[in-house]
Amino acid sequence: DVKVTQSSRYLVKRTGEKVFLECVQDMDHENMFWYRQDPGLGLRLIYFSYDVKMKEKGDIPEGYSVSREKKERFSLILESASTNQTSMYLCASSLSTSGRAGDTQYFGPGTRLTVL
Amino acid sequence: DQQVKQNSPSLSVQEGRISILNCDYTNSMFDYFLWYKKYPAEGPTFLISISSIKDKNEDGRFTVFLNKSAKHLSLHIVPSQPGDSAVYFCAASARKSGGSNYKLTFGKGTLLTVNP
């Protein structure tokens, strides 16, 4: 069964702190993604990675960075957390394949981050 | 520019009746479409998908219809159950020539409430 886990379900941090969100998948997927979900705005892509040590900016990368040192792990880093980064953060993964089944992304349970 | 639009933020139906969730897209390069379901404080789960070579795909109580000329798709749930109450996201992808595709473009979601 497909499994994506995120290190924390709920997190409270202070403004200016460096924040690490970890995501691990056990499906040997090449592609991994970080989204944030906010009311009325849907899912917005922050960064994604299609291979180890490879990364690409999504639609809203400002204020974030990522790290992918191993295939199964994709980290989202908030260098200096701000209150407008309070959100639900979702990690997803997908398989690289020539077939369209690879378009399906599988999501973790999410991390609700509050920045005070 | 919103390429995938879910114009109804919410929908309320009676248990046992049909739920119809709608999605419009503007990018003519999209050729694969997915529906996800999301409960509060959980990650989205994949429901059903459809390729542009089809106009209908069915899985149990869930059917997705695609009208390419209108750039419109819909998700039908029959019969609706209280456990179907969730936010439903429509997503689309475009195949990159010569390689895998990585990204999904999501709509903002529709909150479905099924009343007992």
How far off is chain A from B25, nearest CA to CA, in Å?
15
**Between chains, do B43 and A109 touch, taking CB under 8 Å as contact?**
yes
Q: What is the mean pLDDT of residues B2-16?
A: 95
Residue in chain B nearest A93 by alpha carbon: B102
Q: Which residue has the higher pLDDT, B100 or B77?
A: B77
**Between chains, do A108 and B43 touch, taking CB under 8 Å as contact?**
yes
Interface test with B, best of A23, A103, A111 (most B CBs within 10 A): A103
Question: Quick check: A104 pLDDT over 70?
Answer: yes
Q: Taken in order A96, A108, B90, B74, is the CA torsion positive or negative?
A: positive
**Between chains, do B102 and A107 touch, taking CB under 8 Å as contact?**
no
Question: Quick check: A89 pLDDT over 90?
Answer: yes
Pairwise CA distance, residues A65 & A42, whole Å: 21
- What is the reported pLDDT for B94? 86
Q: Three-state SS for A101? A: helix
Point out the residue among A30, A42, A45 whose CB comes nearest to the CB of B108: A42
The DSSP annotation for A28-94 comes to --SEEEEEEEETTTEEEEEEEESSTT--EE-S--TTEEEEEEETTEEEEEESS--GGG-EEEEEEEE
Question: Quick check: A97 pLDDT over 80?
Answer: no
Instruction: Indicate the average pLDDT of chain A.
Output: 92
Pairwise CA distance, residues A31 & B19, whole Å: 33
Pairwise CA distance, residues A95 & A56, whole Å: 17
- What is the reported pLDDT for A109? 95
- Those residues with Cβ within 8 angstroms of residue B66's Cβ, 6 or more apart along the chain or in another chain: B33, B50, B52, B54, B55, B56, B72, B73
**Between chains, do B42 and A100 touch, taking CB under 8 Å as contact?**
no
> B52 near B94, Cβ under 8 Å?
no
Pairwise CA distance, residues B77 & B63, whole Å: 7
- What is the reported pLDDT for B96? 67
pLDDT in tens, B21-76: 999 999 998 989 999 999 988 899 999 999 999 999 999 999 999 999 999 999 99
Q: What are phi and psi of B31, to 5 degrees?
A: -140, 10
Interface test with A, best of B103, B110, B111 (most A CBs within 10 A): B103
Residue in chain A nearest B5 by alpha carbon: A42
H-run or E-run covering B54 = none
Q: Taken in order B78, A1, A103, A76, is the CA torsion positive or negative?
A: positive
Chain A hits for B106, CB-CB cut-off 8 Å, are 42-43
Structure tokens at A4: 């994506």
**Between chains, do B106 and A43 touch, taking CB under 8 Å as contact?**
yes
- Count A/B contacts: CB-CB distance under 8 Å: 63
pLDDT in tens, B72-96: 999 999 999 999 999 999 999 987 6
Pairwise CA distance, residues B58 & A23, whole Å: 32
Pairwise CA distance, residues B61 & B59, whole Å: 6
- Those residues with Cβ within 8 angstroms of residue A9's Cβ, 6 or more apart along the chain or in another chain: A109, A110, A111, A112, B41
Residue B2 confidence class, pLDDT cut points 50, 70, 90: confident
Question: Quick check: A111 pLDDT over 80?
Answer: yes
How far off is chain B from A41, nearest CA to CA, in Å?
5
